[in-house]
Amino acid sequence: MAKNQDEYQIVEEGDVTAPAYIEPIDDAPVGLGDAPVKRRRSSSDVRLRKTIAAALFSAIAYLCVFVIHIKVAGFLTFDFKDAVMAVGSLWLGPVAGVLMAAVVAFFEFISVSSTGPYGLLMNFASSASFILPAAILFRLRRTRRSAMIGLGISVVFMLAVMMPLNILIDPLYLHVSRETVLKLIPPTLLPFNLVKGVLNAALAALLFQPVRRALHSVEILPPDEEPRRLPAWVLPVGAGVIAIAAALVFFLVLDGKFQFIR
C-alpha cells in the first residue's frame, strides 16, 4: 500500500540541526558527529584575568622602583616602571593604565618617596601622560605600527605635560625660586624627561611581543594574529639601539649615577 506523501519531507543538505535537547559533547571522538568546539571564556572570567594581569603589571612596576635605577642631578630619578605599565596598558586598555599609574605612584609615595604629595602628583602625572596616548591609539587600531607611533606620541605628550608641571611644582618642594627652575629646564629638566621618555618607549617596544604572547597563553587576549609587514628582528634591534643611545645620554651627558637595588 502506497504511503501518503504528507509523511515525507524533502530537506536540503545543511538544513538538518540537532534537536534542542541534545547537548554538544566537547570531547566527542573524531569522526563521530561534529568536531569539538572550543568554548569561549565568559566575559566575567576575562575581566577577572585582566584585573589580575593589571595587578601583576603594577607589582612589577613597583618593584622597578627599587631595582636598577639612575639618579640625575640629585633629585631626578629614572627607573623602568613606566615601560612596564605602558606595555601593560597597550593590551589591557587606557583605563587599566591610569589605574596602574595611580596605584604605583601611591605605593611609592607611602614607601620610598621623599618628596611627599608633590612627588605623588609628579609621579602620577608623568606615568599617566606617558601611558595614555599609546594606549588610546592602540585601542583604536590594534597594529604594531599604531603601538610604535603611539609610544612616540607618548614621549611628546609627556614632555608637554611635565615641563609646565616642573615650573609650577618644583619650586614648592625644592624651595627655590621659579626663575631657578626655569634655568634648569634647558640643561637638565628637558633632556632628562626627553631621554626618560625615549628609553621607556624603547623598552616598551622590546616588551611588546613577549607580553602579547604571555597574555595569549593565559587567554586574556583573543587569537588575533597580525600579519608581519617587517622582519621579526627589526623592532627589537631598533628599540635596543634607541635604548642604548638613551642610556649613554644619561651617563655621559647628564652624569647619571647607576644604582642596583635602592
Q: Give the architecture-level CATH label for domain 43-222+231-259.
A: Orthogonal Bundle (1.10)
User: From CA 239, how far away is CA 257, in angstroms rounded?
Assistant: 23
Rounded to the nearest integer, the mean pLDDT of the chain is: 79
Element of type H or E holding 187: none
User: From CA 244, how far away is CA 258, in angstroms rounded?
Assistant: 14
Instruction: Indicate if the pLDDT at residue 11 is higher than 80.
Output: no
Q: What is the mean pLDDT of residues 61-77?
A: 81
Instruction: Determine the distance from the C-alpha atom of residue 60 to the mean position of all C-alpha atoms in its chain, rounded to a whole number.
Output: 12
pLDDT digits (tens, 9 = 90+) for 109-156: 998 887 889 989 999 999 999 999 999 999 998 888 888 899 999 999
Global model pTM greater than 0.85: no
pLDDT band at 31 (very low <50, low <70, confident <90, very high): very low
User: From CA 205, how far away is CA 152, in angstroms rounded?
Assistant: 10
Sketch the domain layout of the chain as residue ranges. Answer: 43-222+231-259
| Residue 203, φ and ψ in degrees, nearest 5 | -65, -40
How are beta strands 76-78 and 69-72 bridged, if at all?
antiparallel
Lowest mean pLDDT among 44-58, 94-108, 145-159: 44-58
Instruction: Indicate if the pLDDT at residue 252 is higher than 50.
Output: yes
